[in-house]
Amino acid sequence: MAIAADVEQYDLHMKLQEVIPAVVASARDGLDLTAVRLDGLDADKWQLTTANGGSVLLELGKVEGRFIFGPGELTHGKMHLHSAFDKSARAFVDAIAEWLGFELAEAKEKDDAREPNAQLECSWVRLGEGLDALNNRWTGFKLFLKLGERYAEVFFRSAQNGKRAQFVEKWSAYRRELVEIMERAIAKPPARSVRERRTSRAPKREGALSFGIHQAFDLELPAGWLLREEKKHYRITDPNEEMMIEFSHMRLPPLPPDTPGVVERVQIVVDNSGHRDTALPVATFEKNGVTYAWSEYRLNSRNTKDPKAPPRPARERCLIAANAWIQVLVTGCWWETDTAVAEQAWNGVVDSLEVAGRISPSLETRGNA
């Protein structure tokens, strides 16, 4: 792995202690690891264990280069991960996934977990030492991991006593790929699929079911409706599959001032639908710091169950709910004749929708180190 390309991202005018989140980050933001330091001739080795019994051997190889950063000199080299490819390795990946808001499930389709044509490439940079807010002294490293097209960075820090260590997040955009790399690099194949961790809370409506994505959103499903996970969204339908509501979400980066607001985003969807002439004016409201905006338009649609049948009157609806960190998109479609039942289901979903706020400021910012 080419360390030099990443070194260019450092700001040489900043003081070293101000740009080592691996050292100064709050301990609550990291993944706690029990560490056993092992002797090595040309490498630093740690046997790392998670609270759920996961285990892996982290090896930081010999120093292969040095460069000047701020007032100090940083060293770098190759890194290796070793595991027994047993239950402890899977548990280690599970712990990382849970820490980052993901979970793993057995893949529905056969997957080549080892990806034999892709070689795991890992390297490290030693960032320095320092104290966190509770005066814990840490030695911080930045780890680089690449497997095929997947790439991630994560901080690793070891305590002065050598018995405790932590992973600390580098950037939220690396979350999924870090889990996917670990699953394919240290766990026994076949690889499990990675998805955002689902949550469940007690439903407020009788007969409804709760559904949510960890640190993103929660909502209630209409009684009797069926939930299906698609590639990039979720779909619920009535038992006869005549009415459909779909929802998805995205985590928002800091947006520039000229970014369209929520109302404008819905209007863009309507304008691009081809049915602007039949659309209702965009309506908007606020709830718990979240802006909601929605519209509906009418159209003639073909029945996919009976392609030879003539088009029938139908309705489609679009809603966007967003704050500064999360955006949820909800869409629905149904036949005109099912409007009363469909609107009742739609209203239940929207009324129950809760969008997460900012989780942890330190986890949402890409650090300089």
Give tens-digit pLDDT for 160-197: 877 899 999 888 889 999 999 999 999 988 999 998 88
Q: Residue 352 — pLDDT band, cuts 50, 70, 90?
A: very high
160 lies in the same domain as 226: no
368 part of a folded domain: no
123 lies in the same domain as 248: no
What's the predicted TM-score (pTM) here?
Answer: 0.60
Q: What is the pLDDT of residues 84-122, one digit of tens each?
A: 889 999 999 999 998 988 899 887 655 444 455 578 999
360 part of a folded domain: no
**Angle, CA of 283, 288 and 294, to the nearest 5°:** 20
114 lies in the same domain as 258: no
364 part of a folded domain: no
Given 145, 165, 195, the domain boundary residue is 195
Instruction: Write the DSSP string, 2-53.
Output: -HHHHHTTS-TTS-GGGG-HHHHS-GGGSEEEEEEEE--SS-EEEEEE-TTS
25 lies in the same domain as 39: yes
144 lies in the same domain as 260: no
Query: What is the C-alpha separation between 105 and 73, in angstroms, rounded?
Result: 43
Given 147, 167, 195, the domain boundary residue is 195
Q: Which tokens is 242 given? A: 């005549």
212 lies in the same domain as 351: yes
Give me the number of domains the chain comprises. Answer: 2
Contact 24, 365 (CB under 8 A): no
62 lies in the same domain as 142: yes
Q: Which tokens is 75 given? A: 């060293």
Given 195, 216, 247, the domain boundary residue is 195
Q: Residue 208 — pLDDT band, cuts 50, 70, 90?
A: low
243 lies in the same domain as 254: yes
Residues 6 or more apart whose CB falls under 8 angstroms from that of 29 comprise 168, 169, 360, 362, 363
149 lies in the same domain as 222: no
| Residue 228 belongs to domain spanning | 198-355
Q: Which residue has the tokens 């599959």?
A: 241
Q: What is the pLDDT of residues 1-23, one digit of tens each?
A: 232 233 333 333 333 333 355 66
Which CATH number does the domain housing residue 342 bear? 3.40.1000.10
367 part of a folded domain: no
16 lies in the same domain as 89: yes
CA–CA distances in Å: residue 274 to residues 1, 278, 358: 48, 9, 36
Q: What is the pLDDT of residues 277-333, one digit of tens each?
A: 999 999 999 988 899 999 999 999 988 888 888 999 999 999 999 998 899 999 999
72 lies in the same domain as 122: yes
Which runs of consecutive H residues, i.e. helices, occur in the chain? Answer: 3-7, 21-24, 87-99, 175-186, 262-271, 339-352
DSSP conformation class of 336: G
pLDDT at 108: 67
173 lies in the same domain as 202: no
